[in-house]
Structure formats: C-alpha cells, structure tokens
C-alpha cells in the first residue's frame, strides 16, 4: 500500500506497508535446504564411500565370474543381471551387489534421518523454523523428501556405474528386459530405503536425544537387516508355530510366514525375483512341493511375470513405509514446540 508515500508522517500503517511476497510451498524450501545440507555433510561422504564399496568390490568378483560364465555358455540369458547377483566362487554371500545393498541401504536410511527432528530441537532451531510461515508438517515432509532424494540419487549413480562398467569394460549389453529389471530393482530399493528413512524419522521425533535414537536405530537395523540375527529369531518363532505341521511343505510355509514379518525378508525375496529371471517362485511351499518343483526346473520368467510374483511384497513394503511415516507425522504434529 503506497498511500502514505508523500506524507511526512514517520508513523506508517503497520500492516501492508508493502505487498507481502507470495509464499512458496514450505516443504519444498525445507527439502531444498536439507538436500544441500546432506550433500555437504560428512555422512554423505560416508554414504558415497560405503555404496562405492558396495558397487566396486562385488563388481570385481562378479566380473571375474562373468567371464567364466560367458565362456561356458555364450548367449546365456541375463548375463547383464549377473553383475548384480553373482558372488565370488566360494566367497561370502555378502559380496554380491544385491546382498550388500540389502544390508547397507537400511543403515544409510537411518543414518540420514535419525537426528532430523531431535537435532533441530537440540540446536534450538525448531521454534524458529516453526515460527516461519510454513505448516508444521512441511518440516517433516521436507526432511523425508530430502532424505529420499539424496538416497535415490546415490543409488541411481551406483547402479549406473555398475551398468556402465558392465557395458564398457566387459562388453555386456543389456536387453530391454534387463534394463527394465534393473530399474525396477532400483525403485524397489529406493522404496526399501524410504521405509528406513521413515523409521529413522519416527525415532527422531519420539526420542529426544540424537545419540539415543541413533543407537536404537542401529540396534534394530542389526536385528532386522543382518542375516543370522533377526532371521534366526523369527525362524525359532516360526518353528514354534510350525510344530503342528504334517508335511514338510506346510512346515516350510509357516517358517516363511514368520520370516516375512521382517521387511528385510520381503526386500530380499523381491530383489532376488526381479534380478534373476530364473527365480520362478518366492513361495517356500512351492519349492517343497515336488509337483511345482518339476515345473520350475530350468524355466525363466519374463519381466512382467517376475513383477507379478513380487507385487505383494512391493505393496507391503509401501504400506510399511507409509505407516512408519504416518506414525512419525502424527507424533510430530502433536508435540509441544518448546524444548
């Protein structure tokens, strides 16, 4: 309002001396700032180094293997995908790209969000941030979006590096279907990381001290994502329920049901099926029923069939992510601003 422009009075109208600038969506501004912060942070370098190792070491072994495979069966299907799933001969299972990512990704997801909200509280920036013209959920939405963006970026780069290595150094060209499979695998991995990001966010809302929430997060990661810990326990649980099973297939089915309580199991099954066309079933019941086993022998699934096979896994992972985020969101919206 410029009505007073000519008047000598030094007491202007307090409201609308000038037009207020139009507001941008708050979550976008928060996400942009968090994204920049992440890229400049130490933990980003840790992420890059860890995923770099995830890509390079298995790649080295896989490349060695692939030569052998390629010599043995020239024109074997899905050689390109072998880059992601082959492990060194007799070496640990961990040294596959797929397995390494399954373990490292959750850790990195938690690592990026465990201090998202309690860190702001600790620094004393939360009241200041919330007194800006943004909605309260813009803060938590923006932080989640930024974490997801950083993780997606790095994962996509890692996959691209592996693919490029395969194409240029080993001379393996992927078929369209293989490209689709790798992209789908990347999306599922991002979804899985999103689950852990949301979980870390939840911890950062509920637990007041960043150190405590990091510890709790890593403890749960140890239990869920590392083979032998959680899987062993759920197997015990499963065998307890399966004690009444009459056939071996029944028994295996119950065990698998228990294992699937862990999101890591869902992800592992999904990524195995999407990366290897030879995986034609994810059901333990099928594997143990002889009739199905005969059909399975030597057959390959097309991309859409593989996708269909793991679709329930994807849906459940998605639901878990949404659920985790919703919990964090609800708690954050009700919390007092004051420290």
Chain residues binding another protein by CB under 8 A are 3, 10-15, 17-18, 20-24, 26, 29-30, 32-33, 37, 40-41, 123-125, 127-135, 336-339
Return d(Cα 150, Cα 156) in angstroms, integer: 10
CB of 124 to another protein, least distance (A): 2
Q: Say if residues 54 and 104 touch (Cβ distance below 8 Å).
A: yes
Q: Give 134 or 163: the residue with its C-beta nearer to another protein.
A: 134
Q: Among candidates 152, 151, 126, which has minimal Cα distance to 138?
A: 126
CB of 136 to another protein, least distance (A): 8
Q: Give 15 or 176: the residue with its C-beta nearer to another protein.
A: 15
Q: Give 3 or 293: the residue with its C-beta nearer to another protein.
A: 3
What secondary structure does DSSP assign to 179-237, as a single string?
A: HHHHHHHHHHHHHHHHHHHHHHHHHHHH-S-HHHHHHHHHHHHHHHHSTTTHHHHHHHH
CB of 200 to another protein, least distance (A): 19
Return d(Cα 110, Cα 99) in angstroms, integer: 18
Q: Give 38 or 313: the residue with its C-beta nearer to another protein.
A: 38
- Token look-up 């240029």 returns 168
CB of 217 to another protein, least distance (A): 21
List of residues 6+ apart from 21 with CB closer than 8 A: none
CB of 254 to another protein, least distance (A): 48
Q: Among candidates 273, 269, 62, which has minimal Cα distance to 162?
A: 62
Q: Say if residues 336 and 130 touch (Cβ distance below 8 Å).
A: no
CB of 202 to another protein, least distance (A): 22
- Token look-up 């878990």 returns 320
CB of 48 to another protein, least distance (A): 18
Q: Give 128 or 169: the residue with its C-beta nearer to another protein.
A: 128
Length of the chain: 339
CB of 207 to another protein, least distance (A): 19
Q: Give 135 or 169: the residue with its C-beta nearer to another protein.
A: 135
Return d(Cα 297, Cα 293) in angstroms, integer: 6
Return d(Cα 209, Cα 122) in angstroms, integer: 8
Element (H, E) at 279: none
Q: Give 23 or 293: the residue with its C-beta nearer to another protein.
A: 23
Q: Give 3 or 76: the residue with its C-beta nearer to another protein.
A: 3
Q: What is the largest CA-CA distance in the chain?
A: 96
């Amino acid at each position: 309002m410029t009505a007073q422009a000519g008047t000598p009075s030094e007491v202007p109208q307090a409201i609308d001396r000038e037009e207020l600038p139009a507001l941008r969506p708050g979550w976008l501004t928060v996400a942009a700032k968090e994204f920049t912060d992440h890229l400049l942070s130490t933990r980003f370098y840790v992420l890059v180094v860890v995923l770099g190792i995830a890509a390079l070491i298995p790649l080295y072994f896989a490349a060695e293997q692939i030569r052998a495979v390629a010599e043995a069966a020239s024109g074997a299907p899905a050689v390109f995908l072998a880059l992601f799933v082959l492990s060194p001969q007799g070496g640990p299972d961990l040294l596959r790209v797929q397995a390494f990512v399954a373990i490292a990704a959750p850790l990195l997801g938690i690592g990026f969000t465990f201090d998202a909200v309690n860190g702001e509280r600790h620094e004393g920036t939360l009241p200041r941030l919330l007194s800006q013209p943004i909605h309260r959920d813009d803060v938590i939405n923006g932080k989640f979006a930024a974490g997801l963006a950083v993780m997606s970026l790095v994962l996509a780069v890692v996959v691209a590096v592996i693919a490029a290595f395969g194409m240029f150094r080993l001379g393996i060209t992927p078929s369209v279907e293989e490209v689709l499979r790798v992209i789908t695998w990347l999306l599922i991995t991002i979804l899985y990381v999103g689950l852990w990001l949301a979980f870390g966010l939840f911890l950062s809302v509920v637990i007041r001290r960043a150190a405590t929430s990091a510890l709790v997060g890593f403890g749960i990661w140890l239990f869920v994502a590392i083979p032998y810990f959680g899987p062993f326990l759920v197997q015990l649980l499963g065998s307890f329920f399966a004690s009444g099973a009459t056939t071996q297939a029944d028994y295996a089915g119950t065990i698998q049901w228990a294992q699937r309580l862990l999101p890591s199991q869902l992800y592992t099954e999904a990524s195995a099926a999407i990366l290897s066309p030879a995986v034609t079933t994810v059901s333990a019941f099928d594997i143990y029923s002889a009739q199905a086993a005969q059909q399975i022998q030597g057959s390959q699934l097309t991309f859409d069939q593989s996708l269909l096979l793991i679709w329930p896994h994807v849906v459940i992972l998605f639901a878990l992510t949404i659920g985790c985020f919703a919990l964090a969101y609800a708690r954050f919206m009700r919390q007092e601003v004051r420290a």
